[in-house]
Chain A
Amino acid sequence: MMHNTENTHHLQEPHFNTPLQDYAPEVRQLVLDYTLQLADTSFILGHRLSEWCGHGPILEQDLAISNIALDLIGETRSLYQYAAELEGKGRTEDDLAYLRDAVEYKNPLLVEQPNGDFADTILRQFIFDTFHYFFLQQLQHSSDLRLAAIAAKSLKEASYHIKWSSEWVIRLGDGTEESKRRMEKAVDNLWPFSGEFFQITETEKRLLEQGIIPDYAPIKQQWDEHVTKVFDEATLTVPQNVWMQKGGKEGRHTEHLGYVLAELQYLQRAYPGLEW
């Protein structure tokens, strides 16, 4: 495949050499919606983590959090680029990130929750990383070749993330009296947001029927096992029978997302098309 002269002028726009799959229009729309949901999830969490940059408790952890943020934003870019191609209306990854409103964002509620203290950030990350890691392991076998490639790529990075957040849950949970108290508080705060990853939406149900996305039930089992193992080690108790929040994956968000987007999107909203 050789690009025409016009394309080669766009230095910053990566071209992917995987052709789009031949989907029926309604399936294509489902894959598009789902790709946006995955992109929004990594994007909002990546942004939340980037808020720590320069504020981390110690330099090494500041670097770690910023690195994880960078990996997630990288995954986000691949996903938004794919979504833009699927949509085929000339929107770019930047349009999808900077010019959609809160109701159009389909991230689970957990990732938009504020950073809180270091315990909140660690626990939020741990809940997400554990899902992300086991989920990507399955998604890399998707019949959608682009999603499979993005998953295989991100999985290598996610395996460092789950290790980092698991170690910190143990360090803080089984640490000082104060760190334990704060971890317990974080568990109380965030546990109700841990169930949404496994609650299946109408879009997900149809993609599952098409064999494009993995079944969440075995992933939930792996998630439970890992969380229990780490909590045991951390002398923390896994909460039982907690009522689970949901709605993010369908565009119903907590008030926090609006503030995140206000900061994220301010520049492009105020000065459309601004480049630097």
Chain B
Amino acid sequence: MPLLRSWKCTETGCYKHIAPLGLRRNGAPAQEILTPLLGGVGMGKAPVVSIVPLNRNLNKEEKIWQYLEDVYDPEIPVLSVVDLGVVRNVQLQDDKVLVTITPTYSGCPAMNTIATEIRLKLLGEGFKEVAVDTQLSPAWTTDWLSEAGKEKLEAYGIAPPVEPTGNVNALFGKDVTVRCPLCKSENTKLISQFGSTSCKALYQCQECLEPFDYFKCLK
């Protein structure tokens, strides 16, 4: 694995890892990763991105990010909390760690579990003190799901979020074309906007008849 550089958005305080030569681990150009991230920030304000200067903590912080890739969403066990885009910041001071996370949905019962799992993972890795903070603003958006995360979702049988084409208020309007994660047909229909968890809607494929979850777009 190439050495990752850490970028920090000075507005959100969010770190994103970008491989050298502007490429991310899954090969997507850096700009494509950054643009949707930045597009979701603030109320039209232009965010500033700066490269975090190398300091003596960076290696340890990088390690923490790697550990966090082993902490999975309890309800979607193929997505790590990093894939899910809920980790906003990692701060390190001696052996004390402060991880800041942002909730996906206000009432998502997985958030408490995620906070606990993060603590247990990092305590298990030898950090003496681990705290998890919650940050509400800017609110989480499906734009923060990593590209790798979207691929993992589809492979797991959950259709990843699709950019809505119409107004979210369009009554009875079919917002998006969702591809069946099983047979890849685009001939699918919405069964219900609300599914097995807050973040999902129910769809059915008209070709292979498979009912499936869709990770709905949250902007």
Contacts and interface: CB of A to CB of B under 8 A. Distances in A.
A12 B109 CA distance: 11
Interface string B164-199: 000011011000000000000000000111111010
A164 B192 CA distance: 9
B35 interface: no
Contact of A70 (B96, B141, B198): B198
Interface string B107-121: 111011001100100
A61 to B, nearest CB: 8
B209 interface: no
A67 interface: yes
A131 B216 CA distance: 24
A183 interface: no
A11 B168 contact: no
B134 A16 contact: yes
A12 B171 CA distance: 39
A74 B134 contact: no
A71 interface: yes
B119 A11 contact: yes
Interface in A130-154: 141, 145-146, 148-150, 152-154
Contacts of A70: 105, 107-109, 198
Q: Which 3 A-B pairs have the closest CB atoms?
A: A74-B107, A74-B106, A149-B137
B6 interface: no
B103 A160 contact: no
Size category, B interface: 35 or more
Contacts of B194: 60, 63-64, 66-68, 160, 164
**B109, B111, B137 — which one has the most chain A CB atoms within 10 A of its CB?**
B137
Given A63-B192, A77-B106, A156-B139, 12 more contacts: A8-B119, A15-B134, A63-B196, A64-B192, A64-B193, A71-B106, A74-B108, A141-B43, A145-B137, A153-B106, A160-B168, A164-B194
A18 B131 CA distance: 15
Interface in A148-184: 148-150, 152-154, 156-157, 159-160, 162-164, 166-167, 170
A148 B192 contact: no
B98 to A, nearest CB: 6
A71 B202 contact: no
Contacts of B140: 153
B135 interface: yes
Contacts of B103: 74, 153
B55 interface: no
Contact of A17 (B107, B111, B133, B192): B133
Interface of B: 43, 91, 93, 96, 98, 100, 103, 105-109, 111-112, 115-116, 119, 129-141, 168-169, 171-172, 191-196, 198, 202, 216, 218-219
B131 A2 contact: yes
Interface of chain B, main secondary structure: loop
Interface residues of A, number: 49
A73 interface: yes
A240 interface: no
Contacts of B132: 14-15
Given A15-B133, A163-B171, A157 B192 contact: no
Interface of chain A, main secondary structure: helix
Contact of A18 (B135, B171, B172, B218): B135
**A8, A73, A157, A159 — which one has the most chain B CB atoms within 10 A of its CB?**
A8
A164 B193 contact: yes
A17 B193 contact: no
A2 B137 contact: no
A95 B193 CA distance: 34
B115 to A, nearest CB: 7
Contacts of A18: 135-137
A236 interface: no
Contact of A8 (B131, B171, B219): B131
B161 to A, nearest CB: 13
B200 to A, nearest CB: 9
A5 interface: yes
Nearest to A150: B136
A250 interface: no
A196 interface: no
B168 A7 contact: no
